[in-house]
Structure 1
Amino acid sequence: MATSTVPLNVGSSSAATSKLDQLLSLLPKSGVSLSALTFKSKQKTLCLHLQNRGLHAIPQEVYSLRDVEELSVDNNAIVSVPQDVRLLKNLKVLSIAQNKLLGFPVHVCYLKGLRKLRLSDNPKLCDATSKLPAKFTKLKNLEELQLERVELHDLTIEVCTLSNLLRLNLSHNKLETLPSEIGDLNNLREFHLNHNKLISLPDSCRRLKSLRHLFLQQNRLGKFPFCICLMERLQVLDVSDNDMSQLPAEIVQLRKLRVLRLNGLGLMTFPLQITSMVNLEVIEMSDNCLTNLPDDVVVLKKLAALMLNKNRFKTFPEQTYGLTSLTTLEMNGNRMKRLPEDVNRLGQLQKLRLDKNLIATLPEALTELQNLEVITLKCNDFKTFPMELIELEVDTLDISENDIQEVSIEDVAIKKSKLPQEVRYLTSLKALELNSLKLTHVPIGVCMLTNLIHLSLVGNSLTDLPKDISELRVLKELIISENGFEEIPPEVCSLSNLELLEAEENHISCLPADMDQLSRMKCLVLNKNDLDYLPIQVCTLLCLEVLSICGNHLSLIPDEVGDLASLRELWLCKNALMDLNLNLCSLIFVEILDLAGNHLQRLPEDLGNVRVRELYLSRNQFEIFPAQVCELLNLEILSMDENKLREVPEEIADLKHLRVLALTQNDFEHFPVEICKLKSLEELYFGGQRKRIGGVPEEIRVLTNLKKLFIEHSGVTSLPVTVRNLGSLRELKLPGNDIRCLPNELCVLSGLKLLQLQDNRISRLPENFDDFCYGRLKDLSLQSNPLEFPPLSVCVGGLRSIRSWLCKDRKRKAKERKLEEARFLQLLRQFVDGIRRNQITVPFPMLLACELGLTDTMFNGIEKRHPKKAKEQIYQVLLKWKTQSCTPFCKNAERVQRLSRHLNNMRKPELAQTLRDMFTEMQEKEGLSVEPKSD
């Protein structure tokens, strides 16, 4: 293994010195050398930080540091923690986040002095059991436990015994319930449960009396948990993006609440209960349906921030004038046309965001907001530059994407008198957005804004930059995309603090020779230009973390690309690459690799060493699924659309964390059953196959986490009944296939929101299809199907029309069933009476046909073809019933069983047994064309 340099931070103590001497002499044996040794006084605490160093294990020599109290090995490739960790008896803080742990490190549970344990972002931590070990009870002194993104399905009771726990993070997992013992964590102050699958909280949560912060956003809560109202010390509450639509009156009991987030709940009105919560400082109610604020909102005298983005306000809510502490107001994405003339009454306002409204002018009173630091007016209806902005001493100004013909700060200033005197009013700006304003040159006044950190000039007609732009010495972000540049202006190289440069969609064919002066550059975006090669100058930017050169003409990658050791994202799509440089595999920390739209047929052998999470290989020339892909064990997203693949290897099952798989427009002849082993899969795109794939396999039942399933235009003929297991499914797209019949089990998927079935051969919907109509289904497409049940004329009316028709049809059939039952019982009595008199007036085959719902016309046809052959008639009745029913014959024996019970009740068990025997014989012969011998 190659030797790497590891900066080490340690605390200062007398005991530490000798231990460090030992460590310095021992660590090189494990292939790790220590340099840049620095001491930080932390009250004589020994701290060892080894983050982001490519370690596959904690160096064995670390365990000789018996006095170490804090050990951090985040963002490495560690797969396990050995028993030796028990030797670190003084350890109080252990952080192993963002690694590759294969199961929970059980030996950690013996560190009885441990106070903080951080294991987040280890996707395989709970792979084996999907829950935590029972030995957790040993960590009695634990105060902080971080288990974010560890695939946790079940929270063990043992965690609830950690009575000293103050902070618990279980976010981004798959929890559906919490144990009732969770209420025993009576010292818990901060609880993160966001991004799970919780439907409710246990009532025992009311005992969490010490809780200050509770995060529940993006779960499946159908109503506001009442137990929250009893958490009397709660200060921060987030229940955004759940299924609740109202708040209980008891929420007013949360008298200490300071921050309340209610985004994405579909609220139609501002909850009046909130006006009683007078200690609120922050309210977020974005992405709702609000049109106004109640007058009583003015009682919230402590409210400092109000977020009302993406609502339906048509006028500015003047009730905000009474919010005397308001410093931040966000109302992006509403329908307001103007600001009121007395907007200056918001005297304390510091941040005002009004993007994506319909505002065309600004009132003069706006200039009186002396505390304003940020104002954004992106995507409004301004035709000219609003001169009122010149008077504001703001840090951030965004007036992008308006229909302003020409912006010249100099011209505006001249109208106000003297150029230098007027430009100084903007010199406090730190961020300036002048996008899509049809600029042909950069106003020279911009170069005098020496405090600028961020400058965006996207979507103009610029071909050069002024030389004086070098005066922007603190500038960190420069965005000049969508202009007419043919080269990166050399003046850019004088911006020594630049960290981000975006220059996509220009005509750039070369880079300046002095590019290496931008030594702090972290992100370089040069998409959609005219580069024929990757300039070596780029490879000298050793701090670079993101490099994007999509949509150029690159055919080769230089060897020097391997020097970019800090690179995390590499975007090379839509070029002319035919092969990949082996040095690319030395970029082991790259997490996103985009190679789509090239001419690749194979991948480098050592690609499996790279820690890629997202890999894009679409629109290449792969005929065989690359084996190296199956070695990328961290992979979460894989896109291989538009290649020539015919099969998927069994090794794909090794991708335990794959969430998104795209295989559209390939040459598969059937649905690859190997995909069904990817239990973590959430999105599957498999449409547009060049050959008809037939049925979807029953094994798809394993994909219980699947949220999106798209198989368009691929000759799908059927769905298996096991589709009922896909309880997480939210979107199902199957247009342009050959589906004739839908399984009833499809209607069990109550969480489905989108269902596209257009351009198939479906003649009837399942009889319980209206279960969808009462569920979450919002988007249904059934066009271009030969629908008869319900008729197409009904289906085009949408879900409500279908529900109404099915309801009426169900009532009609219930009435018919009653009539059929009465007729059947009458025939049965005649049949039995005939047997008793030795004079059968009603033939048994007719009786059976009546019970199975066959019409008289159908039975008459059978009787004519097989006269005086009772057994043959019975067989033909059963066969006719089978062909008339969409439900599998062998699974729909209820009516035969009912007839058998009737015969038993009428004391004719021999007839009942005969019927059952014949039905069994029919089942055995199902699918055979050979008919039984007649009597």
Structure 2
Amino acid sequence: MSRFQRRGCLADSRAGFRTETEQEPAVPQGLIKGARKSGQLNLSGRGLSQVPQSVWRINVDVPEESHQNLSFGAADDRWWEQTDLTKLILASNKLQCLSEDIKLLPALIVLDVHDNKLSSLPKSLGELENLQRLNASNNMLKVIPDEMCKLKLLKSLLLQHNQLEQIPEGIGELLGLDELDLSNNSLLSIPSSLSGLTSLVRFNLSNNKLKSLPAEISRMKSLKQLDCTSNLLETIPPELASMASLEQLYLRHNKLCFLPELPSCKLLKELHVGNNRIETLGPEHLKHLSSLITLELRDNKLKSLPEEIGLLQGLERLDLTNNDISSLPCALGNLPNLKSLLLEGNPLRGIRRDIFNKGTQELLKYLRSRVKTADTTDNNDGTALTAMTLPSESTINLHALTTLKALEYSEKQATSIPNEIFNAVENISITTVNFSKNQLTEVPQRIVELKETVCDLNLGFNKLSSVSLHLCMLQRLTHLDLRNNALTSLPSEMEALPKLQIIILSFNRFKTFPDVLYRISTLDTILASSNQIGFVDPLQLKSMLKLTTLDLQNNDLLQVPPELGNCENLRSLNLDGNPFRNPRAAILAKGTAAVLEYLRSRIPT
């Protein structure tokens, strides 16, 4: 017997004998019966215009089977041992309202009513004291009942794509909330009381009508991700600079004239401020952002970049598209991790178009060549020490070796790396190695000599058919580029790479997703497009808590497992060019968040 019956909630003595009216949408009794056992009921996509009364009273009314001649020896038929409903999914129906009778389900932990036609939520929702996740996105909500602010255990509140113009002050009392999505509404302001959400990790305010942010937002001491894209912001409160936990800040498509200074945001990895009116980027904006990986400044009015851009040693992506920049600082060439530099739409002078057309690495190489060569010193034998000419007629730039800590031997069409290249390293702590665009059929054995220092290894555009164990000994490796080779597998020993964050496997011959990648917990980016991968394991991907980018474009995926939608850490999931039918192209075009939400809605219960 459920605890609601024990409490004497059978107010109607005939409740066990009632039948649904013909007007109520039919719900298969098998689903109701199964829900009594599992505590979960999924009624998504059934065309319901109202929720049958039997759903609200599932734990109140005595089941119909209790009046039948049942074999009490069968455990499956013990209706009196029913489980209270904890998860109710009513997504993708035609519901215009929810009954106040929802209070008859006080054990609910998850309530999903997204993609309906709800114009309001019942006040009795506030009586669901156990509720932890509420998804009411993609409806027609104009107000949120104050009673909802009583849900003290609520952790996730999704209200995106509604018609909200304001939210209750009391939401700031939901102290356990770690995710709040208010995007795509009509909010003109947010109450300062939200400063009470000190457990909030993800806060999405994009696509509203906000002209300002309250200074009190800085008290959200746990906030890692703040998205204010597509609003009307003209300034950012200076208090935002004290948010020490912030890792991702999105301010695109606003009316900002100045880039905010963020001296305390030392963990910030992504800063997106494109499509604003920013004219100046100064040293004060950059000197504290030592952890920055992505800096997006496209479609602004920048005229120059400071030499201090060279302080962003971890920067991997810099987007300066459509600005007024006429020249580039040579310090850009000294950024060891920069993989993508976007400069289209700038009136740049002094750099030939053919250099631009060769891509980021060639442009950086050109900028490095313009750096003033270090003062020439003398060897013990009195000869000038400038550059070393090898028998292979290659030249090692000692400035690159000593200053950039970079060892390059690329575009030589070589089948092996000459010993002289490694000999030139001597006692220099090399961090970057580029052996791309050669004819290598195996990983050079002497790479192991750099195992204590090398962080970035590029072996792309070669003829590698396997990865040797020598590579697996590079203990500091964080970035590995193996694109455009002939690889079909990766050795399990790669699991021993303790710092690997980014791996590029595009344009190889993988038919299965390399199992070893699931076991490298530090990975945050996997690029595996243009292979022949036919399956990925969503459960193992979900366990990769740091994975934010997964590119599986142009593979052989016949289906996308719905459970992939549970990988909520993914910020970028690319699936175009695969032969699956669902999700449809229209859903893929909406972006990663929409794809993950769609996949979650298809998870069977």
Indicate how the Cα distance of structure 1 residues 520 and 231 shifts in structure 2: closer, same or farther if over 3 A, else same: closer
> CA, structure 1 residues 469+249, in 2 after alignment: closer, same or farther (shift >3 Å)?
same
Is 1:314 aligned with 2:257? yes
Q: Specify the alignment match of 1:567 in structure 2.
A: 579
Conservation of the 8 A alpha-carbon contact between 2:85 and 2:108: yes
The question of 1:252 aligning with 2:172 is answered no
1:231-264 residue CA offsets vs partner (Å, 9 max, x unmatched): 2322222222222212234333334333332222
Give the partner amino acid of 2:264: G
State the identity %: 23
Q: CA deviation at 1:175?
A: 0.9
Alignment of 1:511-590 (within 5 A): 519-520=532-533, 543=557, 567-568=579-580
Report what 1:154 is aligned to.
Answer: 97
Residues 428-462 of structure 1: per-residue CA shift (max 9 Å, x gap): 9xxxxxxxxxxxxxxx9974799xxxxxxxxxxxx
Partner residue in 2 for 1:376: 319
Closer, same or farther: CA 346–449 of 1 in aligned 2, 3 Å = farther
Residues 425 and 278 (structure 1), Cα distance of their counterparts in 2 relative to 1, 3 Å cut: same
Contact 2:189-2:211 at 8 Å conserved across structures: no
**What is the Cα deviation at residue 205 of structure 1?**
1.0
Counterpart in 1 of 2:38? 114
Q: 1:199 aligns with which of 142, 145, 148?
A: 142
- Equivalent residue, structure 1, for 2:66: none
Pair 543,285 (structure 1): closer, same or farther in 2 beyond 3 Å: closer
Match of 1:137 among 38, 53, 57: 57
- Measure how far apart 1:208 and its partner are: 0.9
Name the residue aligned to 1:272.
215
AA paired with 2:31? V
Taking the aligned partners of 1:498 and 1:335, their CA distance within structure 2 comes to 47
Residues in 2 aligned to 1:397 and 1:363: alpha-carbon distance in whole angstroms: 19
For residue 47 of structure 2, give the secondary structure of its aligned residue in structure 1: coil
SS of the equivalent of 1:322 reads: coil
Distance 2:252 2:366 in 1: 34
1:328 aligns with 2:248: no
Shift of 1:187: 0.8
> 5+ unaligned residues in a row in structure 2: which ranges?
1-24, 60-82, 374-386, 388-394, 409-433, 441-459, 465-480, 486-504, 513-529, 536-553, 561-576, 590-605
State whether structure 2 residue 204 is matched by structure 1 residue 261. yes
Residues 400, 368 of structure 1: CA spacing in aligned structure 2 closer, same or farther, 3 A cutoff?
closer
Query: Which structure 1 residue ranges, 5 or more long, are not aligned?
Result: 1-101, 429-443, 451-466, 477-491, 500-516, 523-539, 547-564, 570-588, 594-611, 615-935
Residue in structure 1 matching 2:47, options 126, 133, 136? 126
- Which one-letter code corresponds to 1:251 in the other structure? L
Q: Is the 8 A contact 1:182 1:205 kept in 2?
A: yes
The amino acid across from 1:109 in the alignment is: I
Task: Report the CA distance between 1:494 and its aligned residue.
Answer: 6.8
* Structure-2 separation of matches of 1:324 and 1:542: 41
- Residues 189 and 212, structure 2, Cα contact 8 Å, conserved in 1: no
Is contact 2:238–2:260 with CA below 8 Å preserved after alignment? no
2:92–2:115 Cα contact (<8 Å) kept: yes
Describe the shift of the 1:447–1:291 C-alpha distance in structure 2 as closer, same or farther (beyond 3 A).
Answer: farther
Match of 2:483 among 465, 474, 477: 474
CA distance in 2, matches of 1:378, 1:107: 57
Corresponding residue of 2:345: 402
Q: What amino acid does structure 2 have at the position aligned with 1:321?
A: P
- Cα distance change on mapping 1:470 and 1:132 into 2, 3 Å: farther
C-alpha offsets along residues 393-444 of structure 1, whole Å, 9 cap, x if unaligned? 336424152346332515444445787665988999xxxxxxxxxxxxxxx9
Distance 1:160 1:247 in 2: 29
Give the superposition deviation at 1:314. Answer: 2.1
Q: Check conservation: 1:309, 1:333, Cα contact below 8 A.
A: yes
- Seen in structure 2, the aligned counterparts of structure 1 residues 324 and 157 have a Cα distance that, compared at 3 Å, is same
Residue 449 to residue 155, structure 1, CA distance change in 2 (3 Å): farther
Distance 1:233 1:345 in 2: 31
How far residue 313 of structure 1 moved from its aligned partner, in angstroms, is: 1.8
Equivalent residue pairs, number: 373
CA distance in 1, matches of 2:246, 2:228: 14
Shift of 1:541: 8.1
Alpha-carbon distance in structure 2 between the residues aligned to 1:445 and 1:387: 23
- CA distance in structure 2 between the partners assigned to 1:468 and 1:279 by the alignment: 42
Secondary structure of the equivalent of 2:91?
A: coil
Separation of aligned partners in 1, 2:439 and 2:407: 5
Quote how far apart the aligned CAs of 1:195 are.
Answer: 1.4
- Cα deviations across residues 13-68 of structure 1 (Å, max 9, x unaligned)? xxxxxxxxxxxxxxxxxxxxxxxxxxxxxxxxxxxxxxxxxxxxxxxxxxxxxxxx
CA drift at 1:110: 1.2
User: Within 1, Cα distance between the matches of 2:39 and 2:287?
Assistant: 51
2:509 corresponds in structure 1 to 496
Shift, 1:282, TM fit:
2.8
Q: 1:147 and 1:395, CA in 2 relative to 1: closer, same or farther beyond 3 A?
A: farther
Task: State the one-letter code of the partner of 2:299.
Answer: K
CA distance, structure 2, for counterparts of residue 160 and residue 351 of structure 1 = 46
The equivalent of 1:96 in structure 2 is none
CA distance in 2, matches of 1:341, 1:493: 37
- CA contact under 8 A between 2:274 and 2:296: conserved in structure 1? yes
TM-score (norm 2): 0.53
CA distance in 1, matches of 2:578, 2:343: 33
Q: Distance in 2 between matches of 1:145 and 1:521?
A: 33
Q: CA deviation at 1:544?
A: 6.9
Question: Cα distance 1:411–1:323, how it changes in 2: closer, same or farther (>3 A)?
Answer: closer
Classify the secondary structure of the residue corresponding to 1:145: strand
Q: Secondary structure at the match of 1:204?
A: helix
Tell me the CA shift for residue 209 of structure 1: 1.2
- Which is greater in Rg? 1
Q: List aligned pairs for 1:814-893, cutoff 5 A.
A: none
1:545 offset after TM fit, Å? Answer: 8.0
Q: Secondary structure at the match of 1:375?
A: strand
Q: Write 1 or 2 for the structure with the bigger share of helix.
A: 1
CA change 1:187–1:521 in 2 (3 A) is closer
Tell me if the contact between 2:303 and 2:323 (Cα under 8 Å) persists in the aligned partners.
yes
Deviations 1:116-140 (A, max 9, x none): 44454x2xx034x443452343364
1:375–1:394: 8 Å Cα contact kept in structure 2? no
Render the CA deviation track for 1:594-649: whole Å, top value 9, x for unaligned.
Answer: xxxxxxxxxxxxxxxxxx999xxxxxxxxxxxxxxxxxxxxxxxxxxxxxxxxxxx
Contact 1:161 1:184 in 2 (8 A): no
Work out the CA distance in 2 between the residues paired with 1:566 and 1:445: 31
Q: Distance in 2 between matches of 1:382 and 1:309?
A: 19
In structure 2, distance between residues paired with 1:190 and 1:427: 51
The secondary structure found in structure 2 opposite 1:367 is helix
Q: Which residue of 1 aligns with 2:417?
A: none
In structure 2, C-alpha distance between the alignment counterparts of 1:449 and 1:329, rounded to whole Å: 38
**What is the alpha-carbon distance in structure 2 between the residues aligned to residue 302 and residue 542 of structure 1?**
39
Shift of 1:150: 2.8
Q: Does 1:340 align with 2:263?
A: no
Q: Any conservation in 2 of the 1:110–1:138 contact (CA below 8 Å)?
A: no
| Selected match of 2:109 from 145, 166, 190 | 166
Q: Give the aligned partner of residue 71 of structure 2.
A: none
Work out the CA distance in 2 between the residues paired with 1:255 and 1:216: 19
Structure 1 residue 238 and structure 2 residue 181: aligned?
yes
Name the structure, 1 or 2, with higher relative contact order (CA <8 Å, separation 6+).
2
Q: Deviations over 1:537-561 (max 9, x none)?
A: xxx9854789xxxxxxxxxxxxxxx
Residue 295 in structure 1 maps to residue 238 in structure 2? yes
**Separation (CA, whole Å) in 1 of partners of 2:297 and 2:55:** 53
CA–CA distance in 1 between the matches of 2:133 and 2:439? 43
CA contact (8 A) 2:192 2:214 kept: no
Indicate yes or no: 2:333 matched with 1:390.
yes
Letter paired with 2:165: G
Give, in whole Å, the separation in 2 of the partners of 1:211 and 1:469. 52
